[in-house]
Amino acid sequence: MEARNHTRVSEFHLMGFSEDPELQPFLIGLFQSMYLVTVLGNLLIILAVTSDSHLHTPMYFFLCSLSLADVGFISTTVPKMIVDILTHSTAISYGGCLTQMFMYVLFGCMDDVLLLVMAYDRFVAICHPLHYQVIMNPRRCGFLLLLSLMASLLDSLMQTLVLVGVTCFSGVDISSFFCDPSQLLNLNCPDTFSSDIVEYLVAIVYGLVPVSGIFYSYYKIVSSILRVPSAGGRYKAFSTCGSHLTVVCLFYATGIGVCISSAFSLSAWKRAVTSMVYTVFTPMLNPFIYSLRNRDMKRAMRRLLSSAVGVPVPARGKGEQI
């Protein structure tokens, strides 16, 4: 596809997996399977939490919010990619591209901020257990969720408005399977000062601040846990943070991989694979991490599934760990 230098374009071309047409049937099956697993897994978590009164706590309230954000995150990119493969098309309209980018940044940033909020929740639960119910009251939980949404909307609006103001692009080919903001900003004409300012601002506010907050929270958590005299108490405290910490590591490790890959001149295929790990695998693995590493979640899911098939769940024994 010949690039249109320094002209306003009416559409872009997503070149992520277009170089390997022989793999298209395999890719369709793969992405359909991963999409269904992700959506069903996250919806199952939401249903399990809402149906079990024992899980009506701030921790699981934010977990439901994270699951909704994950469903929106993967739904922004994968369905469009599957349609493109089926129709053998790489084109996306200018307006459609900006809309996809807006939703992608919105839900991705929601994941980012919610992980920080969940780290704060664990910090209060472990470091200030006697005041947990007072600090993490329903009003504050609702405020934190609203703050996460507003911060995500602000990030999406900032990056979208920068591209809306662009009057020309140096090309129309995007080396990914969706409208990646970094790719679109790289297609901006040589005067990229405003784009660079936005990129640095987003990296500091939505990258450095959440990571620093999570790091500080877990520093205080580990310090408090190490002061617990009994080994059983330390294990129980660590186990309450294990799922969240695993998700945090997975989210930021793959996110950093995407940032590093965008700094090098990789092929469209390699860049698309790197982005796929971040946008598809991470939301898909989150339900498994929270359900397999959490006794309360496993029990709530058993209750939900047993009620659907009409089989009673045995009562929890006295020695069973919560």
Is 108 within a domain? yes
Range(s) of the domain holding residue 293: 11-309
CATH number of the domain encompassing residue 79:
1.20.1070.10
Residue 180 has pLDDT above 80, yes or no: yes
What is the mean predicted confidence (pLDDT) over 164-179? 76
Q: How remote is the C-alpha of 207 from its chain's centroid?
A: 13
Residue 252 has pLDDT above 80, yes or no: yes
Q: Which residue has the higher pLDDT, 101 or 15?
A: 101
Residues 6 or more apart whose Cβ sits within 8 Å of residue 285:
250
Q: What is the pLDDT of residue 181?
A: 83
Is 187 within a domain? yes
Residue 227 has pLDDT above 70, yes or no: yes
C-alpha dihedral (292, 44, 107, 80), degrees to nearest 10: 110
Share of the chain above pLDDT 90, in %: 25
User: From CA 159, how far away is CA 202, in angstroms rounded?
Assistant: 9
Share of the chain above pLDDT 70, in %: 80
Tell me if 59 sits within 8 A of 122, measured CB to CB. yes
User: From CA 272, how far away is CA 257, in angstroms rounded?
Assistant: 12
Q: What is the pLDDT of residue 269?
A: 67
Residue 317 has pLDDT above 60, yes or no: no
Of 274, 106, 94, 63, whose CA–CA distance to 202 is shortest? 106
Q: What would the two tokens of residue 38 be?
A: 């992700």
Is 317 within a domain? no
Q: Which residue has the higher pLDDT, 206 or 56?
A: 56
Of 37, 110, 31, 104, whose CA–CA distance to 291 is shortest? 37
Q: What is the pLDDT of residue 311?
A: 54
The total of structural domains in the chain comes to: 1
pLDDT in tens, 253-301: 877 777 766 666 556 666 777 778 888 888 888 888 887 667 777 787 7
Is 319 within a domain? no
Is 45 within a domain? yes
Residue 247 has pLDDT above 80, yes or no: yes
What is the side-by-side strand order in the sheet with 11-14? 91-93, 11-14, 173-174
Q: What does the mean pLDDT of the chain come to?
A: 80
User: From CA 30, how far away is CA 55, in angstroms rounded?
Assistant: 33
